[in-house]
Amino acid sequence: MNAIPNNSPEPSGLSRFMDRRGFLRNSAAVAGGTLLLGTSKSAMAQAAAAGRKIKCALVGCGAQGDALRTASKTVDGIHWVAVADIWGYNRKPMARRMELENKHQVEGTVNQYETIEELLEKEPSIEAVFIATPDFLHAPFSRLALEKGKSVYCEKMMSNTIDGARDMVKAGRENKGIFQIGHQRHSNPRYINLRDNVIRKNNLLGRVTHCYGQWNRGVSASVPLGVPKNQDIPQEMLSKYGYADMLQFRNWRFFSKYGAGPLSDLGAHQIDMFNWMYDTQPVSVIATGAVDYYDGSTGEDGVQKAKFELPDNVMCLYEFKLPSGTMRAYYQVLTTTGSQGFYEKHMGVKGSAIISEAALYNQVYAEPGNDWTKFSEGENPFIAKAADKIKNKFWEQSRNWEKPKPPSYTKVSAADVRESKALDQWELNVTLNERPHAPHIRNFIESVQTNDANHLNCNVQAAFKSCVTVLKAYEAIEKGTKVLFTPEDFTVA
Amino acid sequence: MKLKSNILLIAGGLMAATLALSSCGEQKPASPSGGEAKKEAAAPAASGGGAAAANPAAAPANVPAGELVEIKPEYPKAMFVGTPVPVGDIPNLEKADPEAVKARLTFQLPKGTENVAKGKTVTSSDPLPIIGTLDLVTDGDADAADGCYVELAPGHQWVQIDLGAEYDVWKILLWHFHKQASVYFDVNVQISNDPEFKTGVTSVYNSDHDDSSKLGKGADLAYTETNHGRLIDGKGTRGRFVRIWSNGNTANEMNHYIEVSVYGTPAKK
């Protein structure tokens, strides 16, 4: 069944992969040049030949699967050979695009299957399976692929249930395949720069007391997905695969049977950053949220809105105990406004940092009295003086310390001079010049090439902690009270 | 014309069908390397009217007013609103002109004219479209919603409509993908009686200003897609087959078609 010729070159030695790994892990492009972080093998590694090709399959050909496909174009070593999806409307274009658009990596046809079972049976030469299905299928499909001896790159959120995520950890332990979860910020050089250089090694932010994260997505961007003309899946087929109807099939994220709502869909990336940045997990969470908008009522435009099951807005507050003291982290996800987009902010007593996958959110601020000049000098500085008129400078707007006095000053009161002095503005001196998923996919492929699970940037155990962190917020919403985490919550027996 | 350089030309065989076009619509021998035929093709009047063409909705000059009927195409709803996003530095991009669009929403054509493409067979240089099926091109539905368009492979590709008989083609109304602002490169609309377009080819629209697609230089303007499509003056050109080329667009390297209407009358023997 596999029409792909077996033309993958044989591995030519571990040292070659190690060199390339070192380069890829440690290098990052910067404005005006290339910044090599840490212990890079630099240009010598860059000149090394690409690693052996890994025959890969994609299961789930929707928007996230397409994001993986496009990101994979800059990842050497990926060789797509097959896809699976129950919906031909998505499956067929995915296979054709892999054949046509990614021609530099793909030879021959990309075979199409309706189910992962059929794919695994008929494509025995596949080494790695990428899973980008609705969340409820992550656990069973990961186990299925791992037990067939494959390596697995599974999209986040690990699962829509903690039990599902727990089983994924077990499946990872019980099998030998490399198992990566798609929290791609773990491999983003700008995020790594913030964590390793700004926060950990040089402690520029000082004691971080608070974090804030948000993903606000306006109605126009979060409107329910419809069905393309004449592309309905027959109800019999939908039922066979566990879907109630096309509305739920297309908008599975909003129904607990399949997904875990915007908090999971969007927040999983960002709440995970609270854990990852400080190598910890929270001790408690309080949260509020509900289906306040997509409740089936008639909208302002006179059109009846979809009726969803999972909260379309959530606000939650985590408490962490860091060695330096308590850190509180607030997160919000809204589907009714795109105000200020999506980013995370880390606030310490010496400085603050704003970061996002969108490069325009790239600001680091020094509190008064902290001179960061020396960190912006030398061959490969990890911060740079902020350019004039950088986007979003309004966050910490510069001004003269001598504020204009209000008209009332001489009449009724003195001006309030306790307002903080404006912060000194810097930027992270690292950018990502490829699609956000690419470094994480590369990290996975390198790990498969070398069969080195320790090389993974987000293994299943780390992702499990994030999954628990996120999903426990729902428990807090339901109970209407603070929920405490225990060490057992984050472990799998 | 291409903004991107990494286009994959997957149909090498297509070059065998490369034609040079003449101002009178007569087919010239294929001349991939240029030559005499190409020089002729580069003439300003090579491609139907050119940049300075008269109103494409103009009634045929040689048809008495009493022999004309009013045509009112059905236009789909607009799928994007507001000012189109800049599509890049395109040297021959026309400026949007709402008044010109209004002026052609109805037009006069000879009695008996109808959309002779509707329901007719469509073939393509990409026989396995990425999205959709070729019959969507002539199904009479110009809506831009998902499920209404066909996506062809990257590179220089064509769709071809077999009208089933010879017609005098008066107007062609063409919709690429108009759900987002994009410009399709090297749009070339040809009419012929030869299904292989090797002989008797007339180009009635050609926006390939630099002949990057090697079908002859065209003087027509590139344009931003909208729900009003592109109205092209067929000038009564006689033929059975209509072939439309494009070479990717400003959003991606793919080629999309939502609908093509061909307004014609049966050819008088």
Sign of CA dihedral B158, B162, B168, B169: negative
pLDDT of residue A409: 57
CA distance A95 to chain B (A): 8
Where residue A39 falls among pLDDT bands split at 50, 70, 90? Answer: very low
- Chosen for mutation from B9, B130, B254 (greatest number of chain A CBs closer than 10 Å) is B130
- Choose the closest CB to A230 out of B8, B128, B147: B147
Neighbours of A3 (CB within 10 A): 11
As a whole-number percent, the residues of chain B with pLDDT over 70 amount to 77
Instruction: State the average pLDDT over residues A473-480.
Output: 98
As a whole-number percent, the residues of chain A with pLDDT over 90 amount to 74
Where residue A300 falls among pLDDT bands split at 50, 70, 90? Answer: confident
Q: Which residues of A touch B10 (CB under 8 A)?
A: 100, 103
Instruction: State the average pLDDT over residues B58-65.
Output: 91
Q: Do B146 and A228 touch (CB under 8 A)?
A: yes
CA distance B148 to chain A (A): 7
Where residue A35 falls among pLDDT bands split at 50, 70, 90? Answer: very low
pLDDT in tens, A135-181: 999 999 999 999 999 999 999 999 999 999 999 999 999 999 999 99
Q: Which residues of A touch B141 (CB under 8 A)?
A: 229
CA distance B73 to chain A (A): 22
- pLDDT of A273 over the 90 cut: yes
pLDDT in tens, A53-83: 999 999 999 999 999 999 999 999 999 999 9
- pLDDT of B96 over the 70 cut: yes
- Chosen for mutation from A74, A112, A229, A301 (greatest number of chain B CBs closer than 10 Å) is A229
Where residue B6 falls among pLDDT bands split at 50, 70, 90? Answer: very low
Q: Which residues of B touch A93 (CB under 8 A)?
A: 130-131, 151
pLDDT in tens, A313-339: 999 999 999 999 999 999 999 999 999
pLDDT in tens, B10-41: 333 333 333 333 333 333 333 333 333 333 33
- Asked if A230 reaches chain B (Cβ–Cβ under 8 Å), the answer is yes
Q: What is the ipTM of this complex?
A: 0.71
- pLDDT of B83 over the 80 cut: no
Instruction: State the average pLDDT over residues B78-95.
Output: 72
Q: Do A92 and B148 touch (CB under 8 A)?
A: no
CA distance B29 to chain A (A): 31
- Choose the closest CB to B130 out of A96, A228, A229: A96
Where residue A426 falls among pLDDT bands split at 50, 70, 90? Answer: very high
Q: Which residues of A touch B154 (CB under 8 A)?
A: 100-101
pLDDT in tens, A415-424: 555 667 778 8
Mean pLDDT over the full length of chain A: 86
Which residues 278-297 in chain A show a CB within 8 A of chain B? Answer: none
pLDDT of residue B60: 93
pLDDT of residue B14: 32
pLDDT of residue A18: 27
Q: Which residues of A touch B8 (CB under 8 A)?
A: 100-101, 103
pLDDT of residue A374: 97
Where residue A51 falls among pLDDT bands split at 50, 70, 90? Answer: confident
pLDDT of residue A416: 58
Which residues 54-113 in chain A show a CB within 8 A of chain B? Answer: 89, 92-93, 96-97, 100-101, 103
pLDDT of residue B4: 45
Core vs surface per residue B198-212: b (16+ CB within 10 A) or e: eeebbbbbbbbbebe
Report the chain B residue with the minimal C-alpha distance to residue A232: B147
Residues 6 or more apart whose Cβ sits within 8 Å of residue B218: B46, B47, B50, B188, B203, B205, B206, B207, B208, B209, B211
pLDDT of residue B15: 32
